[in-house]
Amino acid sequence: MNHRNIEDKRHLRSLKTRIKLLEAAREVFLQEGFQKATISQMINKASIGYGTAYVHFGGKEDLLIVLMEGVMEQFFEIAEISFLPKSKQEAEEIIRKQANDFLKMAEAERDMMQVFEQAIGVSSLVSDKWKAIREKFIQRISTDVAYAQQNGLARSEVNHEIVARGWFFTNEMYLWEIVRDEHHSSVEEIARTIASVYVTGLYL
Amino acid sequence: MNHRNIEDKRHLRSLKTRIKLLEAAREVFLQEGFQKATISQMINKASIGYGTAYVHFGGKEDLLIVLMEGVMEQFFEIAEISFLPKSKQEAEEIIRKQANDFLKMAEAERDMMQVFEQAIGVSSLVSDKWKAIREKFIQRISTDVAYAQQNGLARSEVNHEIVARGWFFTNEMYLWEIVRDEHHSSVEEIARTIASVYVTGLYL
């Protein structure tokens, strides 16, 4: 067995440990909530050594952040759908679908999102991570708005970044209402209404 | 001295104690932040007895909530300006001014608002209070949207409550950015931009 093979096997073993620990962390977070969950519970559930675990993660916050990145990756896929509308109507269709998919995803991932919300409230590490995720979304929306302005589809006199932030904020706050199961209207009606006011307000 | 006078004096003394304690609480919260502040520090600063203090407030959360009500009262005054526009243009002027005043107030009350934000993250009592305050704002905006729809000024096919929530969320999230001093644009430009997209999107 050559050096390269040993390296590969070590890497694979390390990857498997990491995945086992992340799966255990997910289960413990869902069961206990963020505040009560402990890294010991996760290590025990994953049946790995303490030393090995700490090679991968410094604490439960690190584990949560990796889980958060995994869930948010699915949300980003929605935002990253190609946005090349040729008319106001086409823009409204794309944007309504994005808002709808975004809020539906919140519904589907409700349990983990509830854990994230708790963690954002109490951990500045997690809260900073959430802010970074938010900025990534806003940058993406901002690019879409600028594209529409450059192509004469959207009002060019408004600052595209301010518009993008405002639009993301509306989506984000509805996302948290849905996560907490506090929304009074259907996800479809929320998405249709906010997209309609936004597109009518911005597009020509 | 008759019974009524004794009652009045007792009431006055009680009111003065309450105010002294609230003033002390405000100072301690500003100095220590919500989490580090203790009710003992507040009682000492107010130079009142422990027993007397606890007649008025069960804990620091209660004190914070009363202080929050006081600050938010000023915000409500902005929302409660009479809203009887006769045209889309008039609506935009009123709404832009409201958004601007709301965000300017956040700037003026930044220090206390930072304490409120901390407290909302860690105390479910304070977080529930914030939710109640938010609902009061949304109800008020909702009434304004319904008024505009009934008078043929706004698109009647959209649900006024969904629209009102979305608009409040944009304002609220910009408020927190301003409180954290994380906004990239001027308050005036933020207010003008979000009001312009909102009014163009909703009004006829």
Maximum distance among all Cα pairs of chain A, rounded to whole angstroms: 66
Q: What is the largest CA-CA distance in chain B?
A: 67
Residues B178-193, mean pLDDT to the nearest whole number: 97
- The phi, psi pair for B203, rounded to 5°, reads -90, 155
Give per-10-residue mean pLDDT for chain A (204 aa).
80 91 97 96 94 89 96 93 94 97 97 96 92 96 97 97 98 97 96 98 98
What is the reported pLDDT for A8? 87
**Which of A173, A185, A198 lies closest to B201 in CB terms?**
A198
Q: What share of chain A is helix, strand, coil (3-state, %, to 5)?
A: 80, 0, 20
pLDDT at B123 exceeding the cut of 80: yes
Task: Count each helix (H run) and each strand (E run) in chain B, helices first.
Answer: 9, 0
For CA atoms B114, B120, B123, B125, give the dihedral sign.
Answer: positive
Give the pLDDT of residue B68: 97
- Residue A60 one-letter amino acid: K
Q: Under an 8 A CB cutoff, do B194 and A166 touch?
A: yes
Residue B124 Cα, gap to closest chain A Cα (Å):
10
Confidence (pLDDT) at A126: 96
Handedness of CA B79, B81, B84, B86 (dihedral sign): negative
Which backbone phi and psi does B180 adopt, to 5 degrees? Answer: -85, 0
Q: Are A67 and A155 in contact (CB under 8 A)?
A: no
Q: Give the minimum alpha-carbon distance from A202 to chain B in angstroms, rounded to a whole number.
A: 6
Exposed/middle/buried for residue A117 (C-beta within 10 Å: 0-12, 13-18, 19+): middle
Q: Are the Cβ atoms of B158 and A198 closer than 8 angstroms? A: no
Note the pLDDT of residue B37. Answer: 98
In angstroms, rounded to a whole number, what is the distance separating the alpha carbons of residues B149 and B145?
6
Query: Strand pairing partners for A203?
Result: A154
| Whether B130 contacts B120, CB under 8 Å | yes
The pLDDT score that the predictor gives to residue B55 is 86
Q: How many C-beta atoms surround the C-beta of residue B77 within 10 A?
A: 11
Taking phi over 0 as left and psi of -120 to 50 as alpha, with beta for the rest, B56 belongs to alpha
Q: Which is the CATH superfamily of the domain at B61-202?
A: Tetracycline Repressor, domain 2 (1.10.357.10)
What is the predicted pLDDT for the residue at B191? 98
Which pLDDT value is given to residue A3? 77
**Least CB-CB distance to A166: which of B163, B165, B197?**
B197
Domain residue extents for chain A: 3-58, 61-202
Per-residue b/e over A150-184, b at no fewer than 16 CB within 10 Å? eeebbbeebbbbbbbbbbbbbbbbbbbbbbeeebe
Q: Rounded mean pLDDT of B38-67?
A: 93
pLDDT at A1: 55
Q: Residue B90 and residue B70: Cα distance in Å, rounded?
A: 30
State the DSSP H helix or E strand holding residue A47, giving kind and residue range, or none if neither. none
Q: Which of A117, A107, A112 is nearest to A188 (CA)?
A: A107
Grade residue B6 by pLDDT with cuts at 50, 70 and 90.
Answer: confident
Considering Cα of A157, then A162, then A164, then A170, what sign does the dihedral take? negative
Q: Which CATH code fits B3-58?
A: 1.10.10
- Greater pLDDT, B80 or A170: A170
Token pair for A156: 């060019």
- The upper half-sphere exposure of residue A14, i.e. CA atoms within 13 Å in the direction of its Cβ, equals 10
Residue B1 confidence (pLDDT) above 70 = no
> How do residues B160-183 score in pLDDT, each as one tens digit?
999 999 999 999 999 999 999 999
Look at A166 and B174 and tell me if their CB atoms are within 8 Å: yes
